[in-house]
Structure 1
């Protein structure tokens, strides 16, 4: 369910050409410091990343996901690319 919510929020805000979400939560369940949130890796390709630094791209995603970062998401790996970067295989 959380992966679907992540997808919906990112699709609505960033209108990505590509979005892939991998849920690694089962591999991390019960480890030290995890109070129940999931572990996800997101690859997202959006024109809205044009002219933005890597830090700015990550900040955009954290802002979009908002309160989910407090409870539902324990760890989030982000690969945020522009369409040009994606076409070059970066």
Structure 2
């Protein structure tokens, strides 16, 4: 998979018809080789989520992106909303936390 971000965007656009879709490659924030395309933050606002619980939404997105999750993607931060939920939040997703250095356990 050459362009993971494009794969995520294309797949979610075609399957969920989102009102809003933001896909951010956050790999640069982590201890990975340059160009790894391994850590993504996805914010998707879609009517398809109406009536679905959060876990069902995440399962749906994970299923749609299974090809990427089996390959290059190591971490996928999902923020899934209905348009009404998004409006209540004022159009803001949660910021990603700073990387703690991969497998280092310095903070014990």
What TM-score bracket applies, with the shorter chain setting the length?
0.7 to 0.9
Q: Which residue of 1 aligns with 2:27?
A: 25
| Gaps in structure 1 of 5+ consecutive residues | none
Give 1:61 deviation, angstroms: 0.2
The answer to which structure has the higher strand fraction is: 1
Give 1:29 deviation, angstroms: 4.0
TM-score (normalizing by structure 2): 0.74
- 1:52 match: secondary structure: coil
Q: Is the 8 A contact 2:4 2:37 kept in 1?
A: no
TM-score (normalizing by structure 1): 0.87
RMSD between aligned alpha carbons?
Answer: 1.6
Q: Which residue of 1 aligns with 2:62?
A: 62
Give 1:30 deviation, angstroms: 3.0
Shift >4 Å, 4+ stretches:
none
| Gaps in structure 2 of 5+ consecutive residues | 91-108
Q: Which residue of 2 aligns with 1:13?
A: 15
1:17-69 alpha-carbon deviations (Å, 9 max, x no partner): 000011111222438xxxx5510000000000000000000000001011210
The match for 2:4 among 2, 5, 13 is 2
Larger Rg: 2
